Amino acid sequence: MAKKKRKLKAKVGVVCLILFLLVLFGGGCLFYYKYDEYYKLEYKELKDKKKLDKIKSHYSERVVTNKDTYLYSKDKKKYKVSGRIAIGEIVNLSKTDITKDTEYFYSEELGYYLSYKDVEPSKEEIVKDKRYKKYVMFNENVVTKEEVNLYRGDKVVYTIYAPLDKPIIYKGDLGVYIEYLDEALLVKYDQIDKTYSKHNTDLGETSSVPVTVYHFFYKMEDTSCNEAICHSENQIREHFTYLNNNGFFTINTTELRLFIEGKLRLPNKSILITIDDGARAEMFVPVLEEFKINATLFLVSGWYPTSKFASPYMEIASHTHLLHTPGVCAGGQGSPLKCLEKTKLVADLKQSRETLNGTTAFCYPFYELNDYAVNALKESGFKIAFMGGYRKATKGIDLYRVPRIPLNRYTTVSQYASLIN
């Protein structure tokens, strides 16, 4: 009997031990399960936070594209590729509620979405050339092909995978310019499907443009400049004050060329201001910048460094490299352009263009020219050339015989006004 009791106790002990171990194992499993669930949840939250922080690190009200990338449009809940944008473009983003699932940022300005991975925050200001807003747009629209590149200079800024229908702002050598995102961008001729007439503006355009000539700038106290082509600072300030007070638009040589070719419609009261030679011309710079007036310096490029005249208001064009010398050819003051051996003449003209960053505008020394000189200019790559003449420039005139109105030290404001109006 005692033996049976001992066996029973042993069995009960074993059962109890098994039950204890089962409870212990079950509790351990439950603990592990709970711990594992907690760890997974914590890991997920940490992972989501890192992802959210990463997405937020790409967002700012102003961003820059970090590579050539896609533009997306949204169709219901799907995003589809609708174009491309170049690297380095500054974009204003719309305000966005960012979550861990955000994949794209929207730009109301662009009208497209961008992948958050393709942009970085930027503090750089968006600076766009608004000069085109002074032009009188054409009453003509352009319709592009279904995929079109939009150029700023030589750079493809945008590629749009849909036809655009836009007013023509002006026409260039390579294509037409349209307004896109508050700037004038080029559509090349081979990407145009058609053009058609459309009334875009009632603004009138000018029928003629005065081109004036200054030479030497001098201060009132300077008595060393006593030629008729010396201009006092007071005289120049009076002329420039008149221009600003009367709403004149000061243009450059390319704008005048396009106007003559019928590719650009200029507003009334457009004027091209030119300065010849380069002597004392650096003294014009602070006055041009003060009045925010543009001018073109026809520089004898072998005489003076261009750095002397550096200014956003001063275009530099050619007045030969080293051929502004009298007495070389017969007649007049004997400009060498009329008879110098062709290879030497073209070499000088090309050197001047190269020195002056590829300018295509030229002014004849002493206003002297002939067909021989014109042919040399064409061979050297010049597209427009200026002389004297006391007339205004009009559409369709000879681009290599553009007249100018010389000014002298005695040109009063009233005389100046009668010459340019």
What pLDDT digit, counting tens, does each position of 92-124 carry? 999 988 998 899 999 999 999 999 999 999 988
Residue 231 lies in a domain: yes
With beta carbons less than 8 A apart as the criterion, state whether 280 and 216 touch: yes
Confidence of residue 13 (pLDDT cuts 50, 70, 90): low
Q: What pLDDT does residue 49 have?
A: 85
The boundaries of the domain holding residue 108 are: 62-121
Q: What pLDDT does residue 60 have?
A: 93
Rounded to an integer, what distance in angstroms lies between the CA atom of residue 185 and that of residue 178?
6
Same-domain status, 232 and 360: yes
Residue 108 lies in a domain: yes
Please spell the DSSP secondary structure of 334-397, one letter per residue: --GGGTS-HHHHHHHHHHHHHHTTT--EEE-GGG---HHHHHHHHHHT--EEEEEES--EETTS
Q: How many residues does the chain have?
A: 421
Confidence of residue 126 (pLDDT cuts 50, 70, 90): confident
Question: pTM for this one?
Answer: 0.86
CB atoms closer than 10 angstroms to residue 4: 8
Edge-to-edge order in the sheet of strand 140-144? 165-167, 140-144, 192-197
pLDDT above 70 covers a percentage of the chain that reads 90
With beta carbons less than 8 A apart as the criterion, state whether 133 and 170 touch: no
Q: How far apart are the first and last CA of the chain?
A: 139
Q: What pLDDT does residue 256 have?
A: 98
- 263: domain CATH number? 3.20.20.370
Same-domain status, 372 and 408: yes
Rounded to an integer, what distance in angstroms lies between the CA atom of residue 284 and that of residue 314?
9
Q: What pLDDT does residue 7 have?
A: 61
pLDDT tens, position by position, 27-72 = 555 555 555 565 565 666 777 788 889 999 999 999 999 999 999 9
Q: What's the total number of domains in the chain?
A: 3
Residue 41 lies in a domain: no
Q: What pLDDT does residue 18 have?
A: 65
Same-domain status, 96 and 145: no
Same-domain status, 187 and 241: no
Rounded to an integer, what distance in angstroms lies between the CA atom of residue 140 and that of residue 324?
44
Residue 48 lies in a domain: no
Same-domain status, 313 and 390: yes
With beta carbons less than 8 A apart as the criterion, state whether 171 and 177 touch: yes
Same-domain status, 248 and 190: no
How far from 131 is each of 179, 396, 399, CA to CA, in Å?
12, 24, 23
Please say if the pLDDT value at position 254 is more than 70. Answer: yes
Same-domain status, 264 and 235: yes
pLDDT above 90 covers a percentage of the chain that reads 81
> Measured in whole angstroms, how far is the alpha carbon of residue 96 from the centre of its chain?
29
Single residue among 121, 141, 169 that ends a domain in this structure: 121
**Identity (one letter) of the amino acid at 313?**
Y
Q: What pLDDT does residue 47 have?
A: 79
Rounded to an integer, what distance in angstroms lies between the CA atom of residue 147 and that of residue 191?
8
How far from 327 is each of 252, 296, 333, 337, CA to CA, in Å?
31, 27, 6, 11
How far from 221 is each of 205, 234, 239, 320, 409, CA to CA, in Å?
42, 11, 19, 32, 15
DSSP state of 161: S
Please give the mean pLDDT across all residues of the chain.
91
Give the gyration radius of the chain's Cα atoms. Answer: 36
Same-domain status, 190 and 213: no
What tokens appear for 358 in the block?
A: 């590829």
Same-domain status, 275 and 415: yes
- 171: domain CATH number? 2.30.30.40
Residue 13 lies in a domain: no
Q: Are strands 78-85 and 69-75 parallel, antiparallel or unpaired?
A: antiparallel
Same-domain status, 193 and 235: no
Confidence of residue 5 (pLDDT cuts 50, 70, 90): low
Residue 411 lies in a domain: yes
Same-domain status, 229 and 362: yes
CB atoms closer than 10 angstroms to residue 102: 16
Residue 338 lies in a domain: yes
Q: Which of 278, 314, 270 is nearest to 293 (CA)?
A: 314
Rounded to an integer, what distance in angstroms lies between the CA atom of residue 366 and that of residue 387?
8
Rounded to an integer, what distance in angstroms lies between the CA atom of residue 157 and that of residue 68?
9
Torsion of CA 33, 36, 38, 39, to 10 degrees: 170
**Mean pLDDT for the stretch of residues 340-354:** 97
Rounded to an integer, what distance in angstroms lies between the CA atom of residue 118 and that of residue 81?
14
With beta carbons less than 8 A apart as the criterion, state whether 232 and 218 touch: yes
Please spell the DSSP secondary structure of 318-337, one letter per residue: ES-SS---SSSSSSTT--GG
Q: What pLDDT does residue 38 have?
A: 53
Helix (H) or strand (E) holding 209: strand 208-209
Residue 176 lies in a domain: yes
**Mean pLDDT for the stretch of residues 231-252:** 97
Same-domain status, 338 and 386: yes
Please say if the pLDDT value at position 389 is more than 60. Answer: yes
